[in-house]
Amino acid sequence: MQIEFARSARSTVGLEWEVAIVDRETGELAPIADRVLEILDARSEGGRHPWITSELLTNTVELVSGVHERVSGAVADLEGQLAEVRAVIDELGEYELVCSGSHPYSQWYDQHLTDKPRYHKLIDRTRWWGRNMMIWGIHVHVGIEDRDKALPILDGLMAFVPHLQALSASSPFWAGVETGYASNRALMFQQLPTAGLPFPLPDWSAYERYVDDLVRTGVIEDHTEVRWDIRPSPRWGTVEVRVCDGVSTANEIAAIGALVQCLVDWMSERLDAGEKLTVLQPWYVRENKWRAARYGLDAEIITDVAGTERLVSDDLRDLLTTLVPVAERLGCQAELQLVRDTLDHGASYQRQLRAAAAAGGDLTAVVAHLARELRDGVAPSTDAAVEGS
């Protein structure tokens, strides 16, 4: 099977943001995305909004940016789309918007499936696990100008899965329970048959054989159903980073988008210079993912093939320094430095835990907190970060 890899300008960037709709009174997820999309479509030229789409569940809308050279442009796209959705939500009067990796207390059996064949097929196959996919994330696409770079860069990015997962971790609660994990979403999502960490594949032909195997055996219909945490996206000519939980502020999306864009361009530059990228053993990558899901920014991660361990937040601070020249070249210095805000004030999972503690464990306060953040951004805090354990 041949899979064409689209032509894409090097290190261009696109962002996707999954946003949930909740009832303003109860904080429960609200299945009204179809109504919101109908209104948006009616207001759009041609009768269909070009960027805002449905997702698996009818409580969710997905915002999709255009292709940009700079992260700031992609974020501005998303902010404009969020304003469009919010205008409709405010007109309806009973709802709010939130984003996190999971909802603190809504139950899977109360949610409605979007009426599309691909979603019905997914749920028919995956049953209970599929119905439990009450999860939200952000995706970052970065353009790869040479198809043969895609898989080496993907392999190199595996060393940074814990950094990205810890920064974005925002799912400490699940169905009313404090899980003890910074990102419960990470462990839920990998239960789907083709989700989770990618397999090490030496070249594009091996990727084509992998997809062909799955198609021939009825696992998938095409490569778009390979739902790896990081995957090649042949249709767009990108590497797509999907490991991140949903985050509730544009600044956090900007920070993560800039970090991913810089990492990809840094690796691309090293490949051009004839260097081999550091590729961690798959068992280290898997352990790092679990540690970041469990402990978030307090995770001690494995940083090299020799097994050196280090606090992920310390490694992130040094990584930001390493990437400064790349960020200057790409025009995302300000966005990259926003990573420090998360390190200084806490990731979303830590802020949610603080909100719950301040409300005596009342999780409706966490939903209200998430809604405020999506409207107003993160309030500065001098509180000590809540430990991930």
End-to-end CA distance of the chain: 46
* pLDDT of 388 higher than 50: no
* pLDDT of 27 higher than 90: yes
Task: Give the separation between CA 98 and CA 103, rounded to whole angstroms.
Answer: 9
The pLDDT, as a whole number, for residue 281 is 98
* pLDDT of 389 higher than 70: no
Q: What is the 3-state secondary structure (H, E, C) of the chain?
A: CCCCCCCCCCCCEEEEEEEEEEECCCCCECCCHHHHHHHHHHCCHHHCCCCEEECCECCEEEEECCCECCHHHHHHHHHHHHHHHHHHHHHHCCEEEECCCECCCCCHHHCCECCCHHHHHHHHHHHHHHHCCCECEEEEEEECCCHHHHHHHHHHHHHHHHHHHHHHCCECEECCEECCCCEHHHHHHCCCCCEECCCCCCCHHHHHHHHHHHHHCCCCCCHHHCEECEEEECCCCEEEECCCECCCCHHHHHHHHHHHHHHHHHHHHHHHCCCCCCCCCHHHHHHHHHHHHHHHHHCEEECCCCCCEEEHHHHHHHHHHHCHHHHHHHCCHHHHHCHHHHHHHCCHHHHHHHHHHHCCCCCHHHHHHHHHHHHHCCCCCCCCCCCCC
Task: Give the separation between CA 185 and CA 190, rounded to whole angstroms.
Answer: 9
Give CA torsion, residues 7, 272, 165, 187, to 10 deg.
70
pLDDT digits (tens, 9 = 90+) for 240-285: 999 999 999 999 999 999 999 999 999 999 999 999 999 999 999 9
pLDDT digits (tens, 9 = 90+) for 280-321: 999 999 999 999 999 999 999 999 999 999 999 999 999 999
The pLDDT, as a whole number, for residue 207 is 98
Instruction: Supply the Cα-derived Rg of the chain in whole angstroms.
Output: 20
Half-sphere exposure of 122 (CA within 13 A, CB side): 24
Share of the chain above pLDDT 90, in %: 96
This prediction has a pTM of: 0.96
Q: What domains can be seen in the chain, in order of their start residue?
A: 103-376 (3.30.590.20)
Higher-confidence residue of 46 and 10: namely 10
Higher-confidence residue of 195 and 386: namely 195
The pLDDT, as a whole number, for residue 381 is 53
Confidence of residue 387 (pLDDT cuts 50, 70, 90): very low
Share of the chain above pLDDT 70, in %: 97
Structure tokens at 355: 């909100």
Q: What mean pLDDT value characterizes the chain?
A: 96
* pLDDT of 373 higher than 80: yes
* Closest to 13 in 3D by CA, of 159, 198, 139, 152: 139
| Average pLDDT, integer, range 363-387 | 78
pLDDT digits (tens, 9 = 90+) for 73-130: 999 999 999 999 999 999 999 999 999 999 999 999 999 999 999 999 999 999 999 9
* pLDDT of 382 higher than 60: no
pLDDT digits (tens, 9 = 90+) for 205-221: 999 999 999 999 999 99
Confidence of residue 386 (pLDDT cuts 50, 70, 90): very low
The pLDDT, as a whole number, for residue 380 is 57
Confidence of residue 378 (pLDDT cuts 50, 70, 90): confident
